[in-house]
Chain A
């Protein structure tokens, strides 16, 4: 009796299928896929417990620095940033103070930059505090301490906004001290404060 070719095909296919499932390549792919699946599951569970609400974290930090009460966000999306700086966020506090989250791209650790909270009230700097930075401990970090940032308190936002561009002899130059050995960090702080002041003058005071 002669076998039909149609009967032979499925047997071959089944054999090949069996061989494929037993092959080293299939085992390797299957093991890698299972490991990837299990690790993804573990990571998704961890993410559920560690996800960060950035806006909430920032509000909390602002309240730690300045007792602002309820704060209302100000739209910063259309703002034309000054050179080497970015205004990340701005809020209006209940007492009329403006909280500006200003980042300087110039810093000793330029990848991280220097981000400051600059609180401006009635046209003058009310407080400057560090939000995030990664300057050298004991050196650049001194430029982010309260004692150094204090020098900006009381300065007029309009004067800071123009920085050293003012050439009129009747207006005295800005008296801003730099920390010796931490010039990059000190410059970064100044850029962030001046950018915040410029934002305030352009977008809030007017």
Chain B
């Protein structure tokens, strides 16, 4: 029961931190650099990708035993393209301004390597529920990364937060941050920061578990000694 629960939760948490597609795996770099000029753009792009990830992971996992191995890539592309078209049509109808701003990057979700990578590496070999959790985790990881990048670039480059102008700050905005050079600068900085933080946490966890192991081993080796001592006393 515990293993089953772990099998569902682990893919979710891995997608956000351990295998974060943007900061750890450096996948989907093109939309990350291009559309994070504003926080709202990053958030919307992330949510659109999350929807496609969840739906495509679910369907690919459901059909994993039906799709012949030889044609799995064209089949995945067709499934992903269908969901991307759904997102494109819904956004054009209900969020026309954002749809125009994101422009070509919405149809380009089809060729986003994060989606293809998750289809090929995870949902192709796992049951629907863990695949959905993997899609959700990876999607949230991607959305968080794009939103954080968008917030930083918009704040420094335009002096606003989610489109709301911050008084005084907008007069001192550093335009370079909303230009392509600024995108690379912020991206590099966040990769360093994220990886340093994750590695530090991982080291702490490893040290803790190693300490526990050592304690258990020590206790195990101490037991026969104590028994010998007791025997000696007798």
- Please give the residue numbers on chain A whose beta carbons come within 8 Å of chain B beta carbons, in ascending order: 24, 27-28, 31-32, 35-36, 39, 42-43, 46-47, 49-52, 57, 111-112, 132, 134, 136-139, 181
Q: How far is the CA of A186 from the CA of B202 in the complex (A)?
A: 51
Stretch at the interface among B2-10, B120-128, B156-164: B156-164
Stretch at the interface among B16-24, B77-85, B185-193, B217-225: B77-85
Stretch at the interface among B87-95, B109-117, B131-139, B204-212: B87-95
B89 interface neighbour in A27, A35, A46, Cβ under 8 Å: A46
- Please give the residue numbers on chain B whose beta carbons come within 8 Å of chain A beta carbons, in ascending order: 37-38, 63, 66-68, 70-71, 74-75, 78-79, 81-82, 85-86, 89-90, 92-94, 96-97, 100-101, 103-104, 154, 157-160, 163, 170, 173, 175, 178-179
Docked-complex contact B71 and A32, CB < 8 angstroms: yes
Docked-complex contact A43 and B82, CB < 8 angstroms: yes
Q: Which residues of B contact A52 (CB under 8 A)?
A: 92-93
Q: Which residues of A contact B179 (CB under 8 A)?
A: 136
Q: How far is the CA of A52 from the CA of B92 in the complex (A)?
A: 8
Contact A139/B178 with A24-B70, A39-B82, A46-B90 known, Cβ cut-off 8 Å: yes
Docked-complex contact B82 and A42, CB < 8 angstroms: yes
Contact A138/B89 with A24-B70, A39-B79 known, Cβ cut-off 8 Å: no
- The residue on B at minimum CB distance from A133 is B100
Q: How far is the CA of A46 from the CA of B154 in the complex (A)?
A: 34
Q: Which residues of A contact B66 (CB under 8 A)?
A: 31
Q: Which residues of B contact A181 (CB under 8 A)?
A: 175
Q: A32-B78, A43-B86 are in contact. List 19 more A-B contacts (CB 8 A).
A: A24-B70, A31-B66, A31-B67, A35-B63, A36-B78, A39-B81, A42-B86, A43-B82, A46-B89, A52-B93, A57-B96, A132-B100, A134-B101, A134-B103, A137-B37, A138-B158, A138-B159, A138-B170, A139-B157
Q: How far is the CA of A71 from the CA of B97 in the complex (A)?
A: 24
Docked-complex contact B173 and A138, CB < 8 angstroms: yes
Q: Which residues of A contact B163 (CB under 8 A)?
A: 137
Return B37 CB to nearest CB of chain A, in Å. 6
Q: How far is the CA of A28 from the CA of B104 in the complex (A)?
A: 31
Docked-complex contact A39 and B160, CB < 8 angstroms: no
Contact A46/B38 with A28-B70, A136-B178 known, Cβ cut-off 8 Å: no
Docked-complex contact B78 and A50, CB < 8 angstroms: no
Q: Which residues of B contact A51 (CB under 8 A)?
A: 93
- The residue on A at minimum CB distance from B101 is A134
Docked-complex contact B71 and A137, CB < 8 angstroms: no
Docked-complex contact A35 and B79, CB < 8 angstroms: yes
Contact A50/B68 with A132-B100, A136-B37, A138-B157 known, Cβ cut-off 8 Å: no
Q: How far is the CA of A181 from the CA of B178 in the complex (A)?
A: 12
A35 interface neighbour in B75, B103, B154, B157, Cβ under 8 Å: B75
A32 interface neighbour in B38, B74, B93, Cβ under 8 Å: B74
Return B43 CB to nearest CB of chain A, in Å. 14
Return B84 CB to nearest CB of chain A, in Å. 11
- The residue on B at minimum CB distance from A181 is B175
Docked-complex contact B158 and A139, CB < 8 angstroms: yes
Q: How far is the CA of A44 from the CA of B18 in the complex (A)?
A: 39
B100 interface neighbour in A42, A47, A50, A112, Cβ under 8 Å: A112
Contact A35/B158 with A28-B71, A46-B89 known, Cβ cut-off 8 Å: no
10 contacts between A and B (CB under 8 A): A32-B71, A35-B63, A35-B78, A46-B89, A46-B90, A50-B89, A132-B100, A138-B158, A138-B160, A139-B175
Q: How far is the CA of A49 from the CA of B89 in the complex (A)?
A: 9
Q: Which residues of A contact B94 (CB under 8 A)?
A: 50
Docked-complex contact B74 and A138, CB < 8 angstroms: no
Docked-complex contact A31 and B75, CB < 8 angstroms: yes
- The residue on A at minimum CB distance from B163 is A137
Q: Which residues of A contact B170 (CB under 8 A)?
A: 138
A50 interface neighbour in B90, B101, B154, B159, Cβ under 8 Å: B90
A28 interface neighbour in B63, B68, B82, Cβ under 8 Å: B68
Q: Which residues of B contact A134 (CB under 8 A)?
A: 100-101, 103
